[in-house]
Amino acid sequence: MRSVQAFAPATVANVSCGFDILGFAIEGMGDRVTLKEKDHPGLVVTSIQGDGGKLPKDPLKNTCSVAIQALLDELGTDVGMEIFLEKGLPLGSGMGSSAASAVAALVAANELLGNPFQKKDLLPFAMAAEKAACGAGHADNVGPSLLGGFVLIRDYHPLDVIKLHVPKDLYCTLLHPHFELKTADSRSVLRESIPLKHATIQSGNVAGLVAGLYEEDYELISRSLKDVIAEPYRAVLIPGFYEVREAVKEVGALGVGISGSGPTLFCLSKGKEKAAQIAESAKKVYQSLGLGVDVYFSAINTQGGYMLEN
């Protein structure tokens, strides 16, 4: 029986001004999924490592199996597979943990089936898994995890996803404080409606960020990394947010925001050296607050999900 393995990277969603429509992928961090063919139809989640026993093995609830089943349903086939998931991302971290699992599973399944789909065409199946995981099939994590780089979701009906230009010296520093913030809690504080003034500001910042990426204008990117819709309400749920933001901007961060629904923060910068300085500055702040934190920095991942050698 054949066996294949794939990897999918961590992601940052929203990217401050781009609530539910922008995301980008990170180098190095992510999930691995191994698939093995089996004699009989049906999907079986055989093992999950790195989740502390928290993720379901029920194929109707696990994001890997939900994504693969959506793919199989589209093909009208019932090929049997065993699923082995290795979590490299913490749960409830705001780094696209459920998205990475789903994308790695889909990339592997597509390979196992002889690549019936182009990579971009796997996106709806990943969104189905996201809906099963958190109740909403957003693409701002699964999009960049699958396709790599910066991704813009222009519309969902019909789905219109665009890969954006990535400046070659753009780096991201991720700060993951040691506590879990549930997506449901983070969404519960958001307002049902927003003032026209805020909608105008947010639209201008999204346009400015996209223009800044294409022009490789780091000052414009910096000016555009402002969120008036979600961040003002979510920041209060994340200890140290304002202290960290002030400290890292002093050492040259282009901007600071909440990665996805949090509690991880992301900081964009120009160059690897600056990203490292931001990491050290943030560590000192968390230490002064008595909070543990995992810190990671990398260039933007432009590859997305990919196959691994077994």
pLDDT of residue 186: 84
For 46-96, the pLDDT digits (tens) are 999 999 999 999 999 999 999 999 999 999 999 999 999 999 998 888 899
Q: Are 2 and 34 in contact (CB under 8 A)?
A: no
Q: Are 119 and 8 in contact (CB under 8 A)?
A: no
Q: How many CB atoms lie within 10 A of CB 58?
A: 10
Query: Cα separation of 302 and 151, whole Å?
Result: 10
Contacts of 276-282 spanning 24+ positions with Cβ under 8 A: 277/251, 277/252, 278/173, 278/248, 278/251, 278/252, 278/253, 279/173, 279/175, 281/247, 281/248, 281/250, 281/251, 282/173, 282/175, 282/244, 282/247, 282/248
pLDDT surpassing 80 at residue 235: yes
Query: Cα separation of 182 and 161, whole Å?
Result: 27
pTM, rounded to two decimals: 0.95
Q: Which pLDDT band holds residue 154 (cuts at 50, 70, 90)?
A: very high
Q: Sign of the CA dihedral 82, 139, 22, 239?
A: negative
Closest CA to 83 of 65, 101, 110: 65
Per mean pLDDT, which range of 19-28, 126-135, 218-227, 273-282 is the poorest? Answer: 126-135
User: Kind and range of the H or E element at 305?
Assistant: none
Whether omega before 158 lies within 30 degrees of 0, making that bond cis, reads yes
Closest CA to 174 of 100, 90, 235: 90
Among residues of the chain, what percentage have pLDDT more than 70? 100
Closest CA to 10 of 283, 264, 268, 309: 264
The string of DSSP codes covering 267-279 is EEEESHHHHHHHH
Q: How many CB atoms lie within 10 A of CB 273?
A: 11
Closest CA to 150 of 159, 140, 158: 140
Q: Which pLDDT band holds residue 302 (cuts at 50, 70, 90)?
A: very high
Query: Cα separation of 118 and 277, whole Å?
Result: 40
What mean pLDDT comes out for the span 91-116? Answer: 95
Q: Are 253 and 221 in contact (CB under 8 A)?
A: no
Query: Cα separation of 87 and 125, whole Å?
Result: 20
For 175-226, the pLDDT digits (tens) are 999 887 777 778 889 998 999 999 999 999 999 999 999 999 999 999 999 9
Q: Which pLDDT band holds residue 310 (cuts at 50, 70, 90)?
A: confident
pLDDT surpassing 80 at residue 103: yes
pLDDT of residue 134: 77
Query: Cα separation of 262 and 190, whole Å?
Result: 13
Structure-block tokens of residue 63: 């994001």
* Burial (Cβ within 10 Å: 0-12, 13-18, ≥19) of residue 7: buried
